[in-house]
Amino acid sequence: MLPENDEIRTALLQSGKQQFLAHGFDRASLRVICRNANVTTGAFYSHFEKKEDLFCSIVEPSVSAFRELFNSAAERNAASLGSVEDELRSITFARNHREECRLLLDCAEGTKYAGFRRWLVEDCFYPRYQAFFDRSAGKPVDPPLVRIILHMKLDEYTDLIYGDYTDEEVRGLIARMSIFSEAGFQALMHLLREEESRSAAPV
């Protein structure tokens, strides 16, 4: 009986997504968003409290979904960083939410999600990375080093998510990149252990 409401809401969500992606939150014009959605500016405020509310409504389903995915993955492999399968699963998920990802990472200035990237990296990924590196090296690893490698890894994901690839291509790239990363990682661990033994064996 009230499907119209949802139609309007949906139209606003779509139009907003498009404008936010195109111009970022701050520079996107609410008027344009409304006009493109065939909605009056007044009506907008029946559906959303303010501009930011629209942004959040666009983005929040993906945020929750992402949180779930991330938590379940975290549970599954508390001891490692995730298999190629896990990587693929995450990236496929992100690829299916490509636009929301961009909104959160690049178009959120002015909203409460402005710090999303930081949260994702520092609070979600970094602690697990640091722990994993420490465990693998058998000693605390220099945090900046961990962070750099984490950033590189995330950058790889970014490429895979936004790049215009087929699923097949993504799978191939992940496979080859895991060769690269694994080799780099092992070399680094080797070096770190060597440093350790050198500094530890004075005799």
Give min distance, CB of 16 to DNA, in A: 10
127-166 binders of DNA (CB under 7 A): none
* 31 counts as binding DNA under rule CB under 7 A: yes
Give min distance, CB of 189 to DNA, in A: 50
Q: Which stretch binds DNA (CB under 7 A): 42-50, 80-88, 139-147, 153-161?
A: 42-50
Query: Which listed option, DNA, a second copy, none, makes contact with residue 159 (CB within 5 to 8 Å by class)?
Result: a second copy
Q: At what angle do helices 98-106 and 51-76 cross, to 10 degrees?
A: 110
Give min distance, CB of 62 to a second copy, in A: 23
For a second copy, the closer of residues 68 and 123 by Cβ is 123
For a second copy, the closer of residues 67 and 176 by Cβ is 176
Give min distance, CB of 160 to a second copy, in A: 7
* 40 counts as binding DNA under rule CB under 7 A: yes
For a second copy, the closer of residues 3 and 144 by Cβ is 144
For a second copy, the closer of residues 13 and 101 by Cβ is 101
* Residues 6 or more apart in contact with residue 197 via CB below 8 angstroms: none
Buried b (16+ CB within 10 A) or exposed e, 45-65: eebbeebeebbbbbbeebeee
- State the Cα–Cα distance between residues 55 and 43, nearest whole angstrom: 16
Query: Given the rule CB under 7 A, which residues bind DNA?
Result: 1-2, 4-5, 8, 28-32, 39-47, 49-52
